[in-house]
Structure 1
């Protein structure tokens, strides 16, 4: 397993934002954000609580509309298009709070996510061949995040860290081209964080990864590029080494433990 994030050829961006903002009444939660993310890139979006990171994610994914600016995905302007249209272009995401039906098994949870991503409907009669294909995809996605040994267990009986694994498996089951993870390490134990880091480092290099993460050790190890936000704005962009060496980032966010000696 490689410890380095994959290198990226920065051609036409997979994801492009220009002047994107979002106002909630008198509050500017996101202000005039420009962002380019290339195919296969690992991009971390960092900053303190209230920096606008999750609001930016929600704008990119179509959960809320922007107050201004444009959002392009694979060269298509999706600014006014709903979340389901972005899913069809290959975007999948997780949320800060896991959204599971706790009475379902791990396999059934991932299986139903595939049905949802593909715009299918639950019917009394399911074609056996199609059902087998989706079940196999569910089991494969579980294996990619090392939760396949618990396929038959109820999600409600799993640990918090295992909930995170199931959420990532559900997103991967959509076979995304862009995977967006909102604080995937939140609430994880030390051992679970190590496992998460390994999973992210082993992610298919063709998948573009964008993540919000407060654990700087994970973020700076996994990311090839970092966008730092403060007060709704992008204040710094650079490689993990550049972020570690940046005085503004050091003073505002990282602390002495992350600074190069």
Structure 2
């Protein structure tokens, strides 16, 4: 078996007397969707911030692509291919679909743009952006204002922006949030295909989506991983059902 693309070991973070994560071990393998679930306040958002570099841990390490990235900034981890999408959209709503993706491609290059019109004439950036839009199926709405997209299309656009990083892994924070049943089904199909390009660490409350997509599931409760396993293993785990799924196994 090949080494995991992402390997988290012993991540611990406290805020005053509150322990948000305690000695968390987690990994992400090529081609998989590894779902992270848990009740509100379990520490999921803190853990994602620790993995992405937005927070520094009190203890533990993050290895990505075989390298220890624990001391790297969020931007440096992103340039190494750690792509993150957010629960609350970080897109520039007043810009067009294409402009948002071009900005993503610009960030990968590490440039600081000053003249936006010049950036939008950069053929190399446009080529990268157009390729990403084709991959997510948004090429026909490239000229639309982002605020005019449906919620599901905005999620796809966030992935297009992330694709400009040539990602080795995705960290996705509740991508189903705000979607109706039809939008959730469409996004599930999209993510199911996306895993073949780069594995996905999926933080999600929609358990139907989790059970449909996940190869493995880790359950975080009060900052600790209480179980990791397949869908069937997690469904049948009495501790998980009592702590999170809301029922005691028969």
In structure 1, C-alpha distance between the alignment counterparts of 2:119 and 2:222, rounded to whole Å = 52
Distance 1:61 1:101, change over 3 A: same
1:72 aligned residue (50, 63, 69) = 63
Which residue number corresponds to residue 182 of structure 1?
173
Aligned to 2:198: 207
1:104 counterpart residue number: 95
In the alignment of these two chains, the number of paired residues is 250
Q: How far, CA to CA, are the matches of 2:249 and 2:139 in structure 1?
A: 39
**Distance in 2 between residues matched to 1:129 and 1:155, nearest whole Å:** 16
Q: Is the 8 A contact 2:84 2:172 kept in 1?
A: yes
- Equivalent in the alignment of 1:194: 185
Q: Deviations over 1:184-206 (max 9, x none)?
A: 00011111101100001111524
- Which structure 1 residue ranges, 4+ long, deviate > 6 Å from structure 2? 125-130
For structure 2, the 5+ residue unaligned runs are: none
Measure, in 1, the Cα distance between the counterparts of 2:200 and 2:46: 17
Pairwise CA distance, 1:12: 1.6
Using the alignment, how far apart are the partners of 1:173 and 1:41 within structure 2?
A: 20
Match of 1:49 in 2: 40
Change (3 A) 1:180 1:128: closer
Residues 91 and 177, structure 1, Cα contact 8 Å, conserved in 2: yes
The one-character-per-residue Cα deviations of 1:126-145 (angstroms, maximum 9, x if unpaired) are 88998223223222222322
How much has 1:44 moved relative to structure 2? 0.6
Q: Which moved more, 1:237-246 or 1:144-153?
A: 144-153
Q: CA RMSD in A?
A: 2.4
Q: Is the 8 A contact 2:241 2:249 kept in 1?
A: no
Could you say if the C-alpha distance between residues 220 and 252 of structure 1 is closer, same or farther in structure 2, counting changes exceeding 3 Å?
same
Secondary structure of 1:80 counterpart: coil
Partners of 2:119 and 2:54 in 1: CA distance: 34
Q: Does 1:114 align with 2:105?
A: yes
Q: Which residue of 1 aligns with 2:75?
A: 84
Separation in 1, partners of 2:4, 2:207: 25
Deviations 1:191-240 (A, max 9, x none): 11011000011115241211101111111221111111000000010011
Q: Which residue of 6, 9, 15 corresponds with 1:18?
A: 9
d(CA) in 1 for partners of 2:220, 2:120: 47
CA contact (8 A) 1:161 1:189 kept: no
Aligned ranges 1:54-65 → 2 under 5 Å: 54-65=45-56
TM-score by length of 1: 0.88
Choose from 140, 153, 157 the match for 2:144: 153
